[in-house]
Amino acid sequence: MKTSVFATVIAASLATAASAEGVLNIYSSRHYDTDERLYGDFEEATGITINRIEGNADELIARMEAEGANSPADVLITVDTSRLARAKDAGILQSVESDVLEDKIPSNLQDADNQWFGFSQRARIFFYAKDSVDTPPATYLELADPAYKGKVCIRSSTNTYNQTLLAAIVTNHGEDAAKTWAEGVVANMAREPQGGDTDQLRGLVSGECDIAVSNSYYFARALRSDVEGISADIDKIAWLFPAQEAEGAHMNLSGAGVAAHAPNRDNAVKFLEYLASDQAQVYFSNGNDEFPAVPGVALADNVAKLGSFKADEVNLSEVAKNIPTAQKIFNEVGWK
Ligand code: FE
């Protein structure tokens, strides 16, 4: 009861808050404190006041569905293609025609109907213990090779990063190959899936894992600042971008879309265009250790240290269609 009253109060204050240039109501599931800078810079540049509601992606999507045409939400920001696709399927986003967004955001990083756009990327790659692995797997498919039995740490199949990775493998290699791969990875696990990506990296330091799958920004963060259980021993960890002779490294996307019933639609489009600007794109690398979505934007030193690589340019809007297949495969092979 208390929760719903609280939610109503927030919604009311979002709808009535105002400034000369108006307001922008953002629902965000990005879990990074440093995003404050992005919002502050936009407010300063435009005079538009940002109101924010943060929560987990599924809750925010459910909330927007429940609020329907009365939703105060103007923009939904979230991580992972699967969630952007889920928001589109739920009917809570609208198409946006913007020359700026079309020009700046590569076509493989945006929805076919322009309901969402990717603004930053993270490479989902292999990390390994230098002293115990001589020949790391060179491709995603090779991670399932029996040579790596008992060596692999990777998080649960409930994690959207893994769902999208498997959906990309379905897209690139077909459903049968994807299922064989998932079976092989389960057989190679060093332990039952547990924790987040950072915990897989910690397992390399503790010796529990020899090979770990993680998004690049968790490792880049440990290069830049002290991450417990990793940074002090980071020299023990090597990394590689998989599939460089094949499809390229799988890229996990963070993106945003304009809400279907956005009360401040023009401001919402302005905000998305701002996210595609050089100023905001540089921030994604400097502030959160990600790769910018806009080609040619400079990388932070710790991100550049990961080295240049070939990214998989498979259309993520197509990959999103294979997420139900990925979930089915995870269940079939018993990937916890
Ligand atoms: Fe994350």
For residues 172 and 312, the answer to whether their CB atoms sit within 8 Å is yes
Q: What pLDDT is stored for residue 21 in this prediction?
A: 74
Amino acid at 193: P
Query: In a structure prediction context, what are the per-residue pLDDT tens digits for the chain, which is 336 residues long?
Result: 333 434 444 544 454 445 567 999 999 998 777 788 899 999 999 999 999 999 999 999 999 999 999 999 999 999 998 899 999 999 999 999 999 999 999 999 999 999 999 999 999 999 999 999 999 999 999 999 999 999 999 999 999 999 999 999 999 999 999 999 999 999 999 999 999 999 999 999 999 999 999 999 999 999 999 999 999 999 999 999 999 999 999 999 999 999 999 999 999 999 999 999 999 999 999 999 999 999 999 999 999 999 999 999 998 888 999 999 999 999 999 999
User: Which residues, in sequence order, are CB contacts of 24 under 8 Å at separation 6+?
Assistant: 48, 49, 50, 51, 74, 75, 264, 267, 268, 270, 271
Give me ligand 1 centre to Cα 175, in Å. 26
The angle that helices 278-288 and 265-275 make with each other, rounded to 10 degrees, is: 60
Give me ligand 1 centre to Cα 227, in Å. 14
For residues 84 and 164, the answer to whether their CB atoms sit within 8 Å is no
Phi-psi sector, 299: left (phi>0), alpha (psi -120 to 50), beta: beta
67's tokens: 């609020």
Give me ligand 1 centre to Cα 126, in Å. 16
What is the C-alpha to C-alpha distance for residues 153 and 200, in angstroms, rounded to an integer? Answer: 6
Per CATH, 8-120+252-304 and 123-249+316-333 having the same topology is answered yes
Q: Can you tell me whether residue 80 is helix, strand or coil? A: coil
User: Which residues, in sequence order, are CB contacts of 277 under 8 Å at separation 6+?
Assistant: none
Q: Quick one: 1 exposed, middle or buried, by C-beta within 10 A (0-12, 13-18, 19+)?
A: exposed
Among 75, 29, 79, 17, CA closest to 56: 29
Q: What pLDDT is stored for residue 290 in this prediction?
A: 96
- CATH for the stretch 8-120+252-304: 3.40.190.10
276's tokens: 């595609």
Please give the CATH topology (third level) of the domain spanning 123-249+316-333.
D-Maltodextrin-Binding Protein; domain 2 (3.40.190)
User: Which residues, in sequence order, are CB contacts of 86 under 8 Å at separation 6+?
Assistant: 57, 58, 61
Among 83, 108, 105, CA closest to 315: 108
What is the C-alpha to C-alpha distance for residues 241 and 125, in angstroms, rounded to an integer? Answer: 5
Give me ligand 1 centre to Cα 45, in Å. 28
What is the C-alpha to C-alpha distance for residues 91 and 68, in angstroms, rounded to an integer? Answer: 10
Taking the domains of the chain in order of start, what are their residue ranges? 8-120+252-304, 123-249+316-333
What's the pTM value of the predicted model, to 2 decimals? Answer: 0.89
Among 140, 129, 142, 306, CA closest to 211: 129
Q: Give me the residues paired with residue 189 across strands.
A: 152
Q: What pLDDT is stored for residue 317 in this prediction?
A: 84
Give me ligand 1 centre to Cα 217, in Å. 8
Among 216, 275, 220, CA closest to 76: 275
Give me ligand 1 centre to Cα 106, in Å. 22
Give me ligand 1 centre to Cα 18, in Å. 32
91's tokens: 């009917």
Give me ligand 1 centre to Cα 173, in Å. 26
